[in-house]
Amino acid sequence: MAKEIERAGVPAVHICSIVPISRTVGANRIVPAVAIPHPLGNPAKSGDEERLLRRALVEKALQALETDIEEQTVF
Amino acid sequence: MTETLKAVLYMNQFFGGIGGEDKAGIEPLAKAGAIGPGLLFREFLDPHVEITATVICGDNYFCERMDDAGEAVFLLIEGYAPDLVLAGPAFNAGRYGMACGAVCASVTRRMAIPAVTGMYPHNPGVEAFRKDIYIVETKGSVAGMRDGVASMSRLALKLARGEPIGTPEEEGYIPRGLRRNYFASETGASRAVTSLLNKLKGKSFITEYAMPVFDRVKPVLPVKSTGEITIALITSGGIVPKGNPDRVESSSATRYGRYDINGLARLAPETHETVHGGYDQTYANEDPNRVLPLDAVRDLEREGRIGRLYPYYYATVGNGTSVANAGRFAREIARELVRDGVQAVIITST
């Protein structure tokens, strides 16, 4: 999906748990996530820590959208 | 009579009899003998091959740390000193396919013994590993178990005995992109003209040099500052309003939904849930922001790090969903986003 969105001219970042699949399918901007059943969270952490973790991942994704890249890049 | 060969099987938590998605995080372990589909393998391999052990690893455990998990699985397999390794078949299960592909690739490379797996052609494990290993083509679901196991067994036996391996069509494996020289009865010029004539007549012909398909998109230019633009959220993690109004399928999705989040500060378990059938839903249902991070995005919007969040998000289920369908969803979504002035997209996947 990330590839098709970029094909339409809109930068897209893929936050995903299995980076090799994202690479194989062709996403350009990839941010590795935490785990498959909770990509943007971690139930083992406290509520506050978990929110910070999520915020940090989204911020990393925003940076990826602001970064000029030549090829597929894992941030 | 030749001596009996020793085989080790690789399976995920499900086929290894450990459990479903709730057990997808289990570490690699080995069990003696054949279990699950191993019994079927035994039917095809007896009496030439003895299955000495089955190595099992949870799909999530493997895919969340492919290098470390691959090493641990490899060491377990190596400990049995097998003559061949059979992994899967994984059908259209993406995580399982990635794991089977990685296991076969490391066994082939490091032990120099045959390793064979089986997958549906759209499994992401195929594109990732087909050049390195033999992947037998199977159906998309477990209904293809018997045929898949039969083809895998046949090919593995041939490889283990050092017999010549035929073309992908003859042997039933997915083309690896290898070319082998042979003496043909007709010269290349004559074959080329015959092919061309068939093509001009609209008849079928088989190319001798298939062009690789590289479907890549050149990265588009970045945005200058996300604080000045509208951003949209998409997820393949199946987060939908409670009750799943669009009936998005829990696997092999043919649909996606567009959902209003205007004025919504965060997703709550009372209002949203996941319908994804390919992972343990416990954590996503407890807090759907763990898959679609609306709360964090709203915080960043309030602080000016994001200009504006598009008032709708899109959701589908990426579980055995074909790349063709996912591509179609994204093209349709992109048209709406471009029309509405969205300038960047965050996609989240489980």
Question: What is the predicted pLDDT for the residue at B276?
Answer: 96
Percent of chain B with pLDDT over 70: 98
Q: What's the half-sphere exposure (Cβ side, CA atoms, 13 Å) at B323? A: 20
Count of C-beta atoms within a 10 Å radius of residue A47: 10
**Does the predicted model carry a pTM greater than 0.80?**
no
pLDDT for the residue numbered B178: 85
E strand residue ranges, chain B? 5-12, 29-32, 49-57, 84-91, 115-119, 134-137, 230-235, 239-241, 257-260, 272-274, 308-315, 344-348
pLDDT at position B106 over 60: yes
Amino acid at B123: N
Structural contact between residues B126 and B135, judged by C-beta atoms closer than 8 angstroms: yes
The per-residue pLDDT for B322 is 84
pLDDT(B80) > 90: yes
All residues of chain B having their beta carbon less than 8 Å from the beta carbon of residue A4 are 217, 326-327, 330-331, 334
CB B220 within 8 A of CB A9: yes
Q: Which whole number is the average pLDDT over B105-121? A: 96
CA distance B23 to B12: 10
What six digits make up the tokens of B320? 């055995």
Q: Are B280 and B21 in contact (CB under 8 A)?
A: yes
Give the model's pLDDT for residue B258.
Answer: 97
**Residue pair B117/B84 in contact by the 8 Å Cβ criterion:** no
- pLDDT, one tens digit per residue, over A4-58 is 999 999 999 999 999 988 998 899 999 999 999 999 999 999 999 999 999 999 9
Residue among B217, B223, B299 minimizing CB distance to A7: B217
DSSP chain A: -HHHHHHTT--EEEEES-HHHHHHHT-SEEEE-S-TT-TT--TTS-HHHHHHHHHHHHHHHHHHHTS--SS-EE-
Q: Is A55 on the interface with B (CB under 8 A)?
A: yes
* Pair B82, B8: CB distance under 8 Å: yes
Whole-angstrom Cα distance, residue B177 to residue B109?
17
Copy the structure tokens of residue B145.
Answer: 């178990």
The answer to whether the Cβ–Cβ distance between A15 and B347 falls below 8 Å is yes
**What is residue B146's predicted lDDT score, i.e. its pLDDT?**
96
Phi, psi of B310 (to 5 degrees): -55, 135
Question: If you measure CA to CA, which chain B residue comes closest to A16?
Answer: B349
ipTM, 2 decimals?
Answer: 0.97
Q: Among all chains, which residue has been given the structure tokens 């690893």? A: B57
- The predicted-structure confidence for B285-310, as pLDDT tens digits, reads as follows 999 999 999 999 999 999 999 999 99
Helix (H, G, I), strand (E, B) or coil at B140: coil
Of residues A70 and B320, more confidently modeled = A70
- Compute the mean pLDDT over every residue in chain B, rounded to the nearest whole number: 94
Give the range among A39-43, B153-157, B161-165, B213-217 with minimum mean pLDDT. Answer: B213-217
Considering only the beta carbons, identify the residue of A9, A37, A40 that sits closest to B220: A9
- What is the pLDDT at residue B214? 66
Instruction: Tally A–B CB contacts below 8 A.
Output: 203
Across the interface, which of A4, A9, A40 has its CB nearest the CB of B331? A4
The model's pLDDT over B180-221, given as tens digits with 9 standing for 90+, comes to 888 989 999 999 999 999 999 999 988 887 776 668 899 999
Q: Are A25 and B271 in contact (CB under 8 A)?
A: no
Q: Which residues fall within 8 angstroms of residue B232, CB to CB, at 6 or more apart?
A: B309, B310, B312, B313, B314, B337, B342, B344, B345, B346
Strands (DSSP E) along B225-300, which ranges? 230-235, 239-241, 257-260, 272-274
Residue B30 is which amino acid? A
Note the pLDDT of residue A17.
93
Higher pLDDT pick, B321 / B235: B235
- What is the identity of the amino acid at B115? A
Of B66, B124, B287, the CB nearest to A25: B124
Residue B29's pLDDT band (cuts 50, 70, 90): very high
Q: B335 and A69: CB-CB below 8 Å?
A: no
Using an 8 Å Cβ cutoff, are B191 and B209 in contact? no
Once rounded to an integer, what is the mean pLDDT over residues B220-224?
94
Does the structure show a pLDDT above 60 at B1? no
Average pLDDT over residues B133-138: 97
Q: Cβ contact (<8 Å) for B66 and A58?
A: no
- Note the pLDDT of residue B100: 98
